[in-house]
Amino acid sequence: MRKEDCFYLGKIAKKFSYKGEVLIYLDTDEPELYENMESVFVEFNKHLVPFFIESSSLHKGDFLRTRFEDIDNEEEADKIMGCEIYLPLSALPKLEGDKFYFHEVIGFDAEDQRLGVIGKIVSINDSSAQPLFEILKGDIEILVPMIDDFIVKIDRENKKVVLNTPEGLVDLYLNS
């Protein structure tokens, strides 16, 4: 499995028992969706390796107490500590309406209601407090905050995100 075909689910955070159980931190708003998985991909030495789950249960909200097949002591659990966990993109629940996954809108046109098509969404910058659409128009990079008030519609059929940005925000980039 290639990393590009997967999404980041979380990280193996700590050992839970001397029998090799671990706690996986789930980086999701809905951890209960991932309570009964059969397997996950663990990034080990820069490769995604399938690990089969013997048992799992939610633990204190965002953690999944997990027992993997073939890991039955602390030494084996130590080898996967800190490793990232991935699932195939196909495992994501489908979103409807104006809800979307960040990876889903990459490549969509960004259309402003006032200015028309302002470019193509090339990436989502979520390294700051407020995620940003990174939009490319020619060689100009336009950053638009991903605020519900700015997002009018996600048009999956026509591969575009319709925005209603305040006057001056996009103009700042286009007129510089």
- Tens-binned pLDDT, residue by residue, of the chain (176 aa): 888 889 999 999 999 989 999 999 999 888 998 999 999 999 988 999 999 999 999 998 889 999 999 999 999 999 999 999 999 988 887 788 888 888 889 999 999 999 999 999 999 998 888 999 999 999 999 999 999 999 999 999 999 999 999 999 999 998 87
Angle CA(87)–CA(92)–CA(96) in degrees, nearest 5?
Answer: 165
Question: Cβ(25)–Cβ(63) under 8 Å?
Answer: yes
Instruction: Identify the CATH homologous superfamily for domain 102-174.
Output: PRC-barrel domain (2.30.30.240)
CA distances from 175 to 44, 108, 171 (A): 47, 23, 6
Q: Could you tell me the residue ranges of all domains in the chain? A: 3-91, 102-174
So what CATH class is 3-91?
mainly beta
User: pTM of the prediction?
Assistant: 0.69
Tokens 């006032």 locate to 114
Nearest to 45 by CA among 9, 83, 5: 83
Around Cβ 17, how many Cβ atoms within 10 Å? 13
